[in-house]
Amino acid sequence: MKTIIEPFKIKSVEPIRFTTKEERKKILESAGYNTFLIHADDVLIDLLTDSGTSAMSSDQWAGIMRGDESYAGAKSFYRFESAVKNITGDTFIIPTHQGRAAEKILFSIIGGPGKYFASNTFFDTTRANIEFTGAEAVDLLCAVGKRPEERAPFKGNMDVDALENLIGKVGKENIPLVMLTVTNNSGGGQPVSMQNIRDVKEVCKKFQLPLYFDACRFAENAYFIKLREKGYENKSVLEICKEMFSYADGSTMSAKKDALVNIGGWLSLNDEELAMKCRNLLIVTEGFPTYGGLAGRDLEAIAQGLEEVVDEHYLQYRIRSTEYLGEKLINAGVPIIEPPGGHAIYIDAKRFLPHVPVNEYPGQSIVCELYVEGGLRTCEIGSVMFGKYDKDGKLIPAMMELVRLAIPRRVYTQSHIDYVAEVVIEVFNRREKLKGVEIIYEAPMLRHFTAKFKPH
Ligand code: F0G
């Protein structure tokens, strides 16, 4: 088979700024060893997130010019609405400025103390929006999803028995909805199978609970189904997406991922009464229901992005380029979550730095070293992000200690990725010398964004 090439030509380029190792040491120190606090201009290859970092196509840029900026009833809204309906099949499509705005609206209406929400794994903003209302967010990931070194096709699946147990324990009347995150970002960008979606739906049906998707990476999830699930190999990705969404009663979406744009999101649903409540809150917090905090041009770019993201040449290149990085690292012995996820490679920091205890944040230590070594910006997804304290102030660690190398869509070429692999392998080869870090400042919620550290 021939090399899978980038399915695009590059029309506009953005230079990147080179820095020396000495410069980067100083930059990192003044950022409190938190790569969120580094100026993007000081980063060579930015793998902090795949969110809002996509390169738009010429058709999307043309859409930006076509955008209708009417306050109410803009043409661009109707194009957006029909593109979202084409994928989700849902009746009510509510635009929001990003994913968490959709979450905030949905959970402030249906959440509250005494309520429980179940997911394969909630993303951090989703969990925060649930907990902010006083409700509880419960992760019910399947067992294999918690074993980073084990290869399985659908490690994002929900443990369906655990869902039934939860319902039995807290009562169906206290569970406003069940949510599947596709793909499972916090668990390694791993997909959820169609079979699991169906099984979860069965349980939801039995107890009359709505099933929602956190749909950020729905197209990548659908492509994995095509590649790995029997019976889907000859279906189009769009058909697979439609089947996935046919089991869901609604979705929250960050268009910054699989709609290939830099800002935007939606809340989609079929429940009319709830939709009306959400729209009313939207008017207070985001804007009129036909723009929801976005410009008409943003809605136009999302509509176009949704057509491009289900293109199978695009998805083949997308999934293969992440896997390509994963393979290079695996071949060099670097421990990562296997198999590689859709949007990112996750280094298993516990196995990478077995000599650094969890309360010295091995993931953060690797993040810092990758920046100094090669100007890579990556993100800890471990106890810095999800750690909590018990009543004696002792760290309750996260389930896994990971470092995420998220790949922006259509932004970097194969030589950029080769360079990334070289830097990671270089750091891995001198891993014994790496030391842990200590937190010297932290905010009460979502602390990873602003925390400051001190190296040991
Ligand atoms: N759900 C998932 C699964 C996500 O990955 C994100 C964002 C959100 C919801 C929230 O969307 O950022 O538009 O408000 N993930 C980004 C990331 C930030 O880097 O993984 P948002």
pLDDT on residue 186: 85
Interval 197-237: pLDDT, tens: 999 999 999 999 999 999 999 999 999 999 999 999 999 99
Residue 298: predicted pLDDT:
98
> Which is nearest to 186 in space by CA: 114, 95, 123?
123
Residues 38, 70 within the same domain? no
**Residue closest to 226 by CA, chosen among 214, 238, 216:** 238
pLDDT of residue 371: 98
Do 274 and 401 lie in a common domain? no
> Hey, is 232 helix, strand or coil?
coil
pLDDT attached to residue 381: 92
| Residue 149 belongs to some domain of the structure | yes
Q: Contact 180/211 with Cβ under 8 angstroms?
A: yes
Structural tokens at position 396: 């309750």
What is the structure's pLDDT at 1?
80
CATH number at residue 407: 3.90.1150.10
φ/ψ of residue 417, rounded to 5: -70, -35
pLDDT of residue 399: 84
Q: Which two tokens stand for residue 6?
A: 């980038």
User: Which of 98, 181, 216 is the best mutation target for the ligand 1 pocket, counting ligand atoms within 8 Å of the beta carbon and taking the most?
Assistant: 216
Looking from the CA of residue 98, the nearest atom of ligand 1 is 13
Q: Do residue 141 and residue 62 come from a single domain?
A: yes
Length of the chain: 456
CA of 379 from ligand 1 middle (Å) equals 13
Domain span at residue 274 reads: 58-308
Q: What is the pLDDT of residue 80?
A: 98
Q: Which atom of ligand 1 is nearest to the CA of 50?
A: 19
Cβ of residue 51 lying under 6 Å from some atom of ligand 1? yes
Residue 6 lies in a domain: no
Which residues are CB-contacts of 2 (< 8 A; sequence separation ≥ 6)?
none
Statement to judge: residues 132 and 205 lie in one domain:
yes
Ligand 1 neighbourhood includes 221 CB (under 6 angstroms): no
User: Does any domain span residue 165?
Assistant: yes
- Domain boundary residue, one of 308, 329, 351: 308
Q: Which pLDDT does position 135 carry in this prediction? A: 98
Retrieve residue 148's tokens: 């980073």
**Ligand 1 pocket: which of 141, 185, 218, 263 to mutate (most atoms <8 Å of CB)?**
185
| 201 plus 347 within the same structural domain | no
406 CA: nearest ligand 1 atom: 19
- The string of pLDDT tens digits covering residues 287-341 is 999 999 999 999 999 999 999 999 999 999 999 999 999 999 999 999 999 999 9
> Which pLDDT score is estimated for 386?
87
- Does 190 contact ligand 1 (Cβ within 6 A)? no
Tell me whether residue 202 is in a domain.
yes
Number of domains observed in the structure of the chain:
2
Asked whether residue 4 is assigned to any structural domain, the reply reads no
Question: Which residue minimizes the CA distance to atom 18 of ligand 1?
Answer: 51
Q: Which of 342, 344, 364 is nearest to 406 (CA)?
A: 344
226 lies in the same domain as 349: no
Does residue 116 sit in the same domain as residue 221?
yes
C-alpha–C-alpha distance, residues 158 and 176, integer Å = 17
The alpha carbon of 247 and the centre of ligand 1 are apart by a number of angstroms equal to: 22
Q: What would you measure as the largest C-alpha separation in the chain, in angstroms? A: 61
In a domain, 268, yes or no: yes
CA distance 273 to 250: 13
- What's residue 445's pLDDT? 80
DSSP structure string for 373-441:
HH-EE-EEESHHHH-EE-TTS-EE--S--EEEEE--TTT--HHHHHHHHHHHHHHHHTGGG---EEEEE
Return the structure tokens found at 314. Answer: 């695009």
Contact 124 CB / ligand 1 (< 6 Å): no
Position 15 scores a pLDDT of 96
What single DSSP character describes residue 25? H
How far apart CA 264 and CA 95 sit, in angstroms, is: 7
Whether residue 9 lies inside any domain: the answer is no
| Shared domain check, 215 and 105 | yes
**Is residue 53 lining ligand 1, measured as CB closer than 6 Å?**
no
Domain C-terminal end among 308, 329, 348 = 308
Query: How far from 264 is each of 61, 85, 304, CA to CA, in Å?
Result: 15, 16, 13
pLDDT at 56: 98
CATH of the domain at 144: 3.40.640.10
Nearest CA to ligand 1 atom 4: 123
Report how far residue 454's alpha carbon sits from residue 437's, in angstroms, rounded to the nearest whole number: 6
Cα 446 to averaged position of ligand 1 atoms, centre (Å): 13
pLDDT below 50 — which residues of the chain?
A: none
Distance CA 77, CA 279 (A): 15
- With a 6 Å cutoff on the Cβ, whether 126 touches ligand 1 is yes
Backbone dihedral angles phi then psi of residue 229, each to the nearest 5 degrees: -110, 130
State the pLDDT at residue 82: 98
Mutation test residue for ligand 1: of 119, 123, 213, the one with most atoms within 8 Å of CB: 123
What stretches of 298-368 adopt beta strand conformation (E)?
A: 344-348
Q: Are residues 198 and 339 in the same domain?
A: no
- Quote the CA–CA distance of 82 and 199 in Å, as a whole number: 29
Question: What's at 97, amino acid-wise?
Answer: H
φ, ψ of residue 439 to 5 degrees: the values are -85, 125
329 and 344 fall within a common domain: yes
Task: Please tell me whether residues 334 and 385 are part of one structural domain.
Answer: yes
Domain termination residue (choose one: 290, 308, 326): 308
* Separation of CA 99 from chain center: 10
Distance, CA of 100 to CA of 94 (rounded, Å): 13
Residue nearest to atom 16 of ligand 1 (CA): 51
| Residue 380 to residue 357: CA distance in whole angstroms | 15
Asked whether residue 130 is assigned to any structural domain, the reply reads yes
Q: Are residues 276 and 418 in the same domain?
A: no
Ligand 1 contact, 256 CB (< 6 A): yes
Q: How far is CA 304 from CA 58, 68, 160, 238, 297, in A?
A: 10, 14, 36, 14, 11
Number of H helices and E strands in the chain, helices first, is 16, 16
Q: Which amino acid is at 196?
A: N
